[in-house]
Structure 1
Amino acid sequence: MTTATLHPAAAHATSTLRGPAVAHAPVPAPGWHEFPEFSVRPARRDDGPALAALSRPFAQAGALRERPLSLYLSRACDFLVAQAPDGTLEGCLGLREHPAAGVLYNFCVASHRQGTGMGARLLHAALARARTRGLATLFTATTGSGRLFLGHGFGPASPSRAPADWARSLDPARGARVLARSL
């Protein structure tokens, strides 16, 4: 089942150029796409294999570090997932808590869902989770443009400001940039 997601401003378009207002059929705003609905929820331990499978293409492309299935099983509670109506996981984002700060990691959205707003919804859910847990700052590392993070208030940060054990785990050969955001 698919439903059209419309930009809120497009939902009630009217014209008042000549005569009384005339209602028009809703028209999607540029950049909005029709796509199946999805829900964002906390991951469960039994999601471990699906998290690993979803992440594998990103690790193979060098965008994520390779992680063993055991990590996805043991840290499933770190993750938020985007789930399609058929139960398929199509996006995930981990939030690891450290004293006073959190680290976002393993952020991926299936290729057919990129550009649909799924990543932004996952990021908003992670920000809300971090706030409810009293974290003052969030950090992440990216080898890509970081455009989504930058658009949501993250900025370049020194790894020395980040949780020390996480900062030490960064692989300099990957050339990742550290980004941070205060909450």
Structure 2
Amino acid sequence: MITLAPRTAPRSVRAALPDVFPVRSARSADAAALAALSQPFVRSGALRARSLSLYVADAADFLVVDAPDGTLLGCLGLSVHPAGAGAGRGASGVLYNFCVAPGSQGRGLGAGLLTAALVRANSRSLTALFTATTGSGELFRRHGFAPAHVAAAPPTWVDSLSPDRNSRILTRSL
């Protein structure tokens, strides 16, 4: 487990926050909570819709942050893609379904989840991480990500992207 401290907040807000937010691996029992946390972002178009069965199947991909009452405050998936034949590089990872509950944004939870994902990626000896974003990508850029050409990304992941979303691909070497 990795812990992260909340950003400095006004005293009235700090009093309601725990000293640290533990980041843990999700379990299949978290699937419904992952889907519920993601729904506002799906409705806004920031995330693709995923079925509950996908959250169950992919639960081990996710890192999550819990509120003291057990409610999920944030999540980030990391899928591993083996090196392609003749690619000349090792396995890479894809970060996906990154969200922090609207009432919990601005506290550093997203940065903590991203940092934990980088630690996990390094522990799995991945050579690069990729993500697709329809937003600014500012948080990713602050963590060393830069725009990438589609040809550099895992082909199976690229094929799953919807061209209608106009996502930009970002990468970071590890």
TM-score (norm 2): 0.86
Paired residues for 1:1-183 under 5 Å = 34=14, 36-37=17-18, 38-99=21-82, 100-183=91-174
- Using the alignment, how far apart are the partners of 1:111 and 1:72 within structure 2? 20
C-alpha displacement of 1:150: 0.5
C-alpha displacement of 1:6: 7.8
Question: Which amino acid counterpart does residue 152 of structure 2 have in structure 1?
Answer: R
Runs of 4+ deviating beyond 4 Å: none
Per-residue CA shift, 1:3-53, capped at 9, x if unaligned? xx687xxxxxxxxxxxxxxxxxxxx589xx625222110000100000000
Question: Which amino acid counterpart does residue 72 of structure 1 have in structure 2?
Answer: Y
Say which SS state the counterpart of residue 144 (structure 1) adopts: coil
Max Rg structure: 1
Kindly tell me: are residues 48 and 180 of structure 1, through their superposed partners in 2, closer, same or farther at Cα, counting changes over 3 Å?
Answer: same
Question: Which amino acid counterpart does residue 49 of structure 2 have in structure 1?
Answer: E
CA contact (8 A) 1:95 1:105 kept: yes
C-alpha displacement of 1:60: 0.5
Per-residue CA shift, 1:62-101, capped at 9, x if unaligned? 0000000000001000000011111110100000001110
Say which SS state the counterpart of residue 104 (structure 1) adopts: strand
CA contact (8 A) 2:74 2:110 kept: yes
Give the aligned length: 157
Kindly tell me: are residues 128 and 36 of structure 1, through their superposed partners in 2, closer, same or farther at Cα, counting changes over 3 Å?
Answer: same
CA contact (8 A) 1:81 1:122 kept: yes
CA contact (8 A) 2:23 2:64 kept: yes
CA contact (8 A) 2:6 2:109 kept: no
Question: Which amino acid counterpart does residue 106 of structure 2 have in structure 1?
Answer: G
Say which SS state the counterpart of residue 32 (structure 2) adopts: helix
- Using the alignment, how far apart are the partners of 1:70 and 1:94 within structure 2? 15
- Using the alignment, how far apart are the partners of 1:171 and 1:29 within structure 2? 38
TM-score (norm 1): 0.82
Question: Which amino acid counterpart does residue 159 of structure 2 have in structure 1?
Answer: R
Structure 1: gaps spanning 5 or more residues: 8-27
Taking only aligned residues, the RMSD between alpha carbons, in angstroms, comes to: 1.6
